[in-house]
Every structure is written in C-alpha cells, then in structure tokens.
Chains A and B, each alone.
Chain A
C-alpha cells in the first residue's frame, strides 16, 4: 500500500496548511490540531499494520528510481516510531488546548506544532541522508520558533543556546555528507550501505564520527548534552513535553539507522565508542538530576541518562540489544512525555515547579499522585511496569555477550533514577506545603490535562502487562536492522 507511506507526511502538512488558512479563528485551529494529530495516529497505525503484513514499504517520489530520486522507506522500526509519534502527538495536542495561552495560539502555535510533527515523521521515513538533513531542519526550524514563541526572557536565552548548538550540529552533518558524496557519489542510504560494505577507510571513519557528533548533539549524549537541560524547562509544558518525548529520539533513531545500515564495517572501533559514550551519558545524566530542584530540570537530566540506555543497545550491536533499544525508546517516549505533562499539571494548580515550594499535593490531589507514581516507577524500572521490561531486556542482552560493566552502570543508574523520582514524590506530594505558598489556580486539574495523562499511564501499564507483544515486534524490527539486505533490496530493487 503506497498511500500508507505518504499519509504520515501528508496529514501533518495538510493540517498545518489548514491551520494557517484558518488564521484568526482560534476554535477552528484548535479543532484542526487535535483532528490532525488523531489522523496522524491512525495513519501511523495503518502504516505499522501494512509494514507488519507486507514487509518493508518503499515509495520512489515522483517515480525517479533509487538511488537518483527521493526515496521514502518504512521498515518495522520506522513504522513503530511513526505510530508512537502519532500517539504522543495526539496526547500533547489535547493537553496543549488547556496549556497554551491564546497569545501563543495567535502567533501560530498549532501550525508550528504540526510542522514539527511533519519533520519528525519525515526523518523517520526517509531513505536518503540528505533528506534526513532536510527533515531535521524542518523539525528544528519549527522547534526554534516553538521554543522562542512568547518571548519571555529565559526562553530567549535558551533559544540562543539551542539554536547555536543545533546550527553547528547541522553544519557538521552537512560536512559529513559532503565528504561521503565526494567519496561515493551517492547519499541514498541503501546505496551507501552497498558501496561502503567492503572498504573501511580512514575517510569513511571520519565521516562516521562527524555524523556521530552531529546526531549526538541532537540526541543529547555525553559530552554534548549541555544545551538540553538549559533549554527544555523554559517553554510552556506542552512544548517541552513534545520536545522531551520526540526530538532527542529522532537523534537516537538517526544514530541507530546509520550505525546499523551504513557504518558497520568496523564495529570494534565505532560501536565500542558508542558503548563508552552511552555509559558516561547514563551516569552524568543521573548525577546531574540528583543536583536539581525543579521538576522539569530534574526530568530533563533524566532524558539524558535514559538516552544512554538507548544508545547502549546500539553499541552492544546484537539483535537482542537493538530490540531492547527499540523497546526502550517506545517506553521512554510515553513515560517521559507523561512525566512532563504531570509536571505541567502540578505547575497549573500550584503555579511553580520548584520542589522546595511544593508540598501537600498528595493530600489535595491523591489521583495526580497515583498517576505520577505510574510513569515515575516505570522510569525507575519497577516491575510490572514498562520500564522494568525495557531495562530487563537490555541487561539480559548485555549479559549474553557477555559484557558486564555496562550492566553494572545500568543497574546503578536505575537505582539513582528511582532515588530522584522518590525525591520528587517526597518533596512535591508527601511533605506538608510550605507556609505562604499561594500560587496557581488551586482548583481541580482541568479535564483536558487529565485525559492525556491517564491515556499515557494506561499505555504504560498495558506495555507492562503485555510486554511480549511489543518485545516481539521490537525483535522483528531489530532483525530487519541487523540484516540490512532486505532493506537494501527493497530500496534498490535488486539483491546487493
């Protein structure tokens, strides 16, 4: 089914256009944004089903054959990512209705949000490195504007850093593309994979490392993560939730795609480096989180440490490890977005996210407490929630290699994560509220905020109770990634 592959791009594009054309009508924009995100979820699920049933899907845009034209490819990994993007997009779009103020809506929040989704889905579906760059830019441009939208002073400061770092990352990406094109005369990923297979050389390694740095900046790995906690807590919660859930994962996706398909000639160098970097990322992220006392800043540092787990699976480079990575990505997108949304709900009723000024939330909002516990315990890896199985799969695959010290680091970091979550719980929910705190609405949590939080918590629990389904899917996706011949054949239409 060719349409299934184009729809995840067409839907957000047309929604964005419709939102621009709806212009002044705030109601129409809000309705369109939710409808469009819902349609994206449907399109993502349809794509997942057709890829699952019919194998890798390819569309050559404009009917130019690969490697000359623009290729869209969806294997299971891409399809899973698009589907989960649709789910998160819908939840955040609903939350945004209650969270984004009318001024920001007038300045085009909704079209920008849809363009961001377009960039994310495009990056997941493209089969060509240069188009990956273009989709990255689509995503980044909208994220810049979303980050700076509203123009509060911390936002502007954050945006300057975020923009500079990402500009440099894009430049390095393009540099790597230039070197690769000069050497091989192609940028189609499948074609590159064929041409690079037999000739590892110093120049190839240098472009591999340039790509690693560039995607690493976007994913937020050690030591390139410092822009992330400096910027993610400044914009409105809906914006930082979608950033936290999706943007870094696009970097991880690109890393996994490139280092399973193209640069596989010398895993002793590249993939060992990835393991080292991942472990350092996990440790610095969680230690950074321990020193923070603002909910969203704590959570931002946790993104970094969790990114380490995902790239660790890539670095270990076995089918089981990559399957664990994919499982981890899905679990983390849901859980982290949910935690940000809950942080936003707390900010809504209390007017602050500073742990020192919060307290007594469990007395006033017991349900929010319960809803917080689900993703928080899942992030820490308590059974039977999704995080436990994600960590379990990763550790198991590492022990099979066997590779022990990443396991030690992973388990220690898991413990520290739990400590951080307990800190938020104890400070915000358990202790009595400090004297004189009167900020926020103090009213009930709006329904529009509650619904997405509950939906995501339910998905977390569902993954926890039926991990087999997702793990099976992830394993098959990883199988496709580890045997790129199927991918290459689907794109180029011939056996390599």
Chain B
C-alpha cells in the first residue's frame, strides 16, 4: 500500500510541477491545487498507514484499543486542507482580477511590474 501511494505522490508532484511551469494561468492554478493535494497525501502516508479504531478510549476502559489510528497527522492534514482551501479561493479571485485587467492568461505578459 505504501509503495502504491508513494508512486501516486511522486506522480502528483511531477504533474503539479509540470503544470506550474506552463505559461497558462489556469494551469498554474491546477498545478498549485495538485501540489497541495500531493503534500497532504505525503503527510498522510509518511505518518504511517494503519487500519485502526478511532483514537477514543471507550467507556470503562483505560487504554486505547489496538490498533488505533494516529489522530495527529489527520489534524495536521485537516488544517493544511483548510489553509490551502483559503489560498486557492484567494488565488482564483486574484486570477480573475488579473485576467480581467490583462485580458490574457499568458504568464509571460506579467512583466510590467518588473520594468520601470
């Protein structure tokens, strides 16, 4: 399972960087989205895959039933997802503005702020 996921993560990274290197702004956004998914999946896989119980001590017991799932990476990923959700929303809004003011989605046209 880890091997499969590792290959998937590698593929996602490769695809996202390929998309980010394209000139189109839409592909840039797609690349960023895939990138954040790849990172989340990496966090999830690196923290160890277990098919476990929820990490809640049942009534009456005083220890967790084994095997239990590690809650921390899930909390981390949830936070990361929320953050990337906000970032992507902002990126979309920004790109829309950029598109309406530039009338192109070609990133090479973004040179004006560089030149005096």
- Listed in ascending order, the chain A residues whose CB lies under 8 Å from chain B are 130, 134, 137, 141, 144-145, 148, 151, 153-161, 163-164, 167-168, 170-171, 174-175, 177-179, 181-183, 187, 230-231, 234, 293-294, 297, 354
Question: Are A175 and B39 within 8 A (Cβ)?
Answer: yes
Q: How far is the CB of B81 from chain A (nearest CB, A)?
A: 11
- Listed in ascending order, the chain B residues whose CB lies under 8 Å from chain A are 20, 25, 28, 32, 35-36, 38-40, 42-43, 45-48, 72-73, 76, 79-80, 83, 86-87, 90-91, 94-95, 97-98, 101-102, 107, 110-114, 116
List 13 additional contacts besides A141-B90, A157-B102, A160-B95; criterion CB under 8 Å. Answer: A144-B90, A154-B113, A157-B110, A157-B112, A158-B113, A163-B90, A168-B32, A175-B39, A177-B43, A178-B43, A178-B47, A181-B46, A187-B76
Q: How far is the CB of A326 from chain B (nearest CB, A)?
A: 30
User: Complex formed: what's the CA distance from A156 to B98 in Å?
Assistant: 6
Q: How far is the CB of B15 from chain A (nearest CB, A)?
A: 14
Question: Are B20 and A160 within 8 A (Cβ)?
Answer: no
Instruction: Decide yes or no: A167 and B32 within 8 Å by CB, A157-B112, A294-B116, A354-B116 being known contacts.
Output: yes
Instruction: Decide yes or no: A181 and B32 within 8 Å by CB, A158-B113, A231-B113, A293-B116 being known contacts.
Output: no
Q: Which residues of chain A are within 8 angstroms of B45 by Cβ–Cβ distance? A: 178, 182
Instruction: Decide yes or no: A137 and B83 within 8 Å by CB, A157-B110, A157-B113, A178-B43 being known contacts.
Output: yes
Q: How far is the CB of B78 from chain A (nearest CB, A)?
A: 12
User: Complex formed: what's the CA distance from A130 to B20 in Å?
Assistant: 25
Q: Which residues of chain B are within 8 angstroms of A297 by Cβ–Cβ distance? A: 116
B80's contact among A161, A174, A294, by CB below 8 Å, is which? Answer: A174
Question: Are B113 and A234 within 8 A (Cβ)?
Answer: yes
Question: Are A171 and B113 within 8 A (Cβ)?
Answer: no
Q: Which residues of chain A are within 8 angstroms of B28 by Cβ–Cβ distance? A: 164
User: Complex formed: what's the CA distance from A134 to B81 in Å?
Assistant: 12
Instruction: Decide yes or no: A181 and B98 within 8 Å by CB, A168-B35, A230-B113, A234-B113 being known contacts.
Output: no
Instruction: Decide yes or no: A145 and B90 within 8 Å by CB, A174-B43, A178-B39, A178-B42 being known contacts.
Output: yes
What residue in chain A is nearest B36 (Cβ atoms)? A171
Of the A-B pairs whose beta carbons lie under 8 Å apart in the complex, a sample of 14, sorted by A's number, is A137-B87, A156-B94, A156-B97, A160-B107, A160-B110, A168-B20, A171-B38, A174-B43, A177-B76, A178-B43, A182-B45, A183-B46, A187-B76, A297-B116
Q: How far is the CB of A168 from chain B (nearest CB, A)?
A: 7
Can you list the 4 inter-chain pairs with the closest CB atoms, starting with the nearest?
A182-B46, A178-B43, A154-B113, A157-B113
User: Complex formed: what's the CA distance from A153 to B110 in Å?
Assistant: 10
Q: How far is the CB of B17 from chain A (nearest CB, A)?
A: 9
Question: Are A154 and B112 within 8 A (Cβ)?
Answer: yes
Q: Which residues of chain B are within 8 angstroms of A130 by Cβ–Cβ distance? A: 76, 79
A153's contact among B35, B86, B112, by CB below 8 Å, is which? Answer: B112
B94's contact among A160, A170, A174, A231, by CB below 8 Å, is which? Answer: A160
User: Complex formed: what's the CA distance from A294 to B113 in Å?
Assistant: 12
Q: Which residues of chain B are within 8 angstroms of A153 by Cβ–Cβ distance? A: 101-102, 112
Q: Which residues of chain A are within 8 angstroms of B80 by Cβ–Cβ distance? A: 174
Question: Are A164 and B47 within 8 A (Cβ)?
Answer: no
Q: Which residues of chain A are within 8 angstroms of B114 by Cβ–Cβ distance? A: 230
User: Complex formed: what's the CA distance from A156 to B97 in Å?
Assistant: 7
Q: How far is the CB of A65 from chain B (nearest CB, A)?
A: 14
Q: Which residues of chain B are within 8 angstroms of A163 by Cβ–Cβ distance? A: 87, 90-91, 94
Question: Are A175 and B116 within 8 A (Cβ)?
Answer: no
Question: Are B97 and A148 within 8 A (Cβ)?
Answer: yes
User: Complex formed: what's the CA distance from A167 to B28 in Å?
Assistant: 11
Q: Which residues of chain B are within 8 angstroms of A154 by Cβ–Cβ distance? A: 112-113
Q: Which residues of chain B are within 8 angstroms of A181 by Cβ–Cβ distance? A: 43, 46-47, 72-73, 76
User: Complex formed: what's the CA distance from A164 to B98 in Å?
Assistant: 14
Q: Which residues of chain B are within 8 angstroms of A230 by Cβ–Cβ distance? A: 113-114
Q: Which residues of chain B are within 8 angstroms of A170 by Cβ–Cβ distance? A: 83, 87
What residue in chain A is nearest B101 (Cβ atoms)? A153
Question: Are B20 and A164 within 8 A (Cβ)?
Answer: yes
Q: Which residues of chain A are within 8 angstroms of B86 by Cβ–Cβ distance? A: 141
Q: How far is the CB of B100 from chain A (nearest CB, A)?
A: 9
